[in-house]
A = this chain, B = another copy of it.
Amino acid sequence: MSKTTHREDHLKALYALGHSGDSESEWVSTNQMATHLGVKPPSVTAMVHVLTELGWAEHRPYHGARLTPAGEKLALALVRKHRLWETFLVERLGFEWDEVHDIAEQLEHVDSVALVERLDQYLGHPDVDPHGDPIPKADGTFRNMEGVMPLSELGEFECAVVMGVKANDQTLSAMRDRGLGLGSKLTKNDLVTLPQAWLPQLMVKTS
């Protein structure tokens, strides 16, 4: 990878791991980063030092790292590109939702502001990507996602609609085989029928 691509992957990892909860940006441990990126901890320490030097992250030794506001802005731009490309691949090229992540992982590093903005326009300024994840706008704002929660945390309900899904490609493929997709309607009965592992992965809204 280019120097830039490398830094971008670490920024994205910091962003993804720091926002896994609903709370503010959390401190992310070196081990978490290493696991997420598929490298060894010393490599992460080195890159965190670089990001700190660039003003994109701050580092408390033996405690963790997190993005600065500047780093967060860059990370959001990457997430925006990733999700726009995924949308293009599914909406225009006819890929399935379990086939696009790895390709978007490469496309997100193409450097051209004009390209991102034209792509966004071409796709009609979509709000969410094929997995129901919100696409940040150019200014970094998000679509409001309130009322959406994991199926596992839903209490009493009559009917729920799938608004998104947090799963790897293999699980996404299996869900597709069962006819699950964005907009699918679920009933109480599905709580028992579906694989239990999927319940926290299916993001739903009552209807």
Q: How far apart are the CA atoms of A5 and B106 in the complex, in Å?
A: 12
Stretch at the interface among A60-68, A108-116, A163-171, A184-192: A108-116
Indicate whether A93 sits within 8 Å of B111 (C-beta atoms), given known contacts A1-B2, A2-B1, A2-B2. no
A103 part of interface (Cβ distance < 8 Å) = yes
Residue of B nearest to A3 (CB): B1
Closest chain B CB from A84 CB (angstroms): 12
A 87-116 to B, binary, CB cutoff 8 A, 1 in contact else 0? 001001111000100110011001110110
Asked if B110 and A103 make an inter-chain contact with CB atoms under 8 angstroms apart, the answer reads yes
Indicate whether A93 sits within 8 Å of B118 (C-beta atoms), given known contacts A2-B1, A2-B2. yes
A residues whose Cβ falls under 8 Å from a Cβ of B = 1-2, 5, 89, 92-95, 99, 102-103, 106-107, 110-112, 114-115, 118-119, 122
Asked if B118 and A94 make an inter-chain contact with CB atoms under 8 angstroms apart, the answer reads yes
Indicate whether A106 sits within 8 Å of B114 (C-beta atoms), given known contacts A2-B2, A93-B122, A119-B93. no
Closest chain B CB from A10 CB (angstroms): 16
Q: How far apart are the CA atoms of A89 and B122 in the complex, in Å?
A: 11
Ranked nearest first, the 5 interchain pairs of A and B with the lowest CB-CB distance are A93-B118, A106-B110, A1-B2, A103-B112, A103-B115
Residue of B nearest to A103 (CB): B112
Closest chain B CB from A109 CB (angstroms): 8
Closest chain B CB from A47 CB (angstroms): 16
